[in-house]
Amino acid sequence: MNYTKLGMRSLAIGLILAIAILPQTLGASPYSRRHLINSEEDELRIISQFYNYVDVITGVKLDNMLKLTQHFVQQLLDSIPPEDHGNTAAMLQDYIHKSEDLRHRPGSIEEKEKLLMELQQLIATIKSGLAKEEREDIILRRGLLGMFELLARLSIEERKFNDKFSKAATVLRVQMSEESLERRRDLFEILDAVQREQDIVVRERLFAQFKEMRYYNTIH
């Protein structure tokens, strides 16, 4: 689902404000929480807002990751003297063009995820070519050491996303009545599992399940 920048900003601001008042919400008395969401219509509305917010923070994370990966690939390309450019340099340049194009138009989350996956394939291709002892590949051996720094920076972006996701999920839960939580038990069990999971592979699998549940828990 694509959103205009204005719409995305509005959704983000709404959830940020909700997160900002989270401590007061958690500490509220039962009487002051009498307006907890209870109807199925209201459940669908607020869960839709939550999914939209997750789209926003996912987009921000991917944009930042693309910026980091593009910078890394540009550094690799710049390390190769123009006279030594070959097939590897052409692949690096192609990735930079794709990243530049995607970052400056309203690309979908799926497109951005696909391009990040392409980087993994690109690095694997470069490594497989190192054995050929071509000059550009020999030069790139040193540049690939920068992968460790790139991975560290990507991990920071992932942690930022996880923190925002967990806070928003908590905001969502505290606004639900016991009846609503029971009706949406499967959704909240997945949310709890995503928040608890430390293994990134398992977490991604759980997050994929969370995305698959969108249709049945939101307004269409």
Q: Is the dihedral of CA 117, 121, 122, 124 positive or negative?
A: positive
DSSP 138-173: HHHHHHGGGHHHHHHHHHHHHHHHHHHHHHHHHHHH
Tokens of 8: 């995305």
pLDDT exceeds 60 at position 122: yes
Rounded to the nearest integer, the mean pLDDT of the chain is 83
Q: Alpha carbon of 154 to those of 9, 66, 94, 147, 162: distances in Å?
A: 23, 9, 21, 10, 12
pLDDT recorded at residue 107: 86
Q: Which residues of 98-129 are buried (b: 16+ CB within 10 A; e: fewer)?
A: bbeebeeeebebeebeebbebbeebbeebeeb
The residue ranking higher by pLDDT, 134 or 170, is 170
The residue ranking higher by pLDDT, 170 or 4, is 170
- Among the ranges given (110-119, 120-129, 197-206), the one the predictor scored with the smallest mean pLDDT: 120-129
pLDDT recorded at residue 31: 37
pLDDT recorded at residue 51: 96
pLDDT tens string 51-89: 999 999 999 999 999 999 999 999 999 988 888 888 888
pLDDT recorded at residue 125: 80
pLDDT recorded at residue 139: 75
pLDDT tens string 6-54: 444 444 555 554 554 444 444 444 434 556 888 899 999 999 999 999 9
- Among the ranges given (17-21, 176-180, 189-193), the one the predictor scored with the smallest mean pLDDT: 17-21
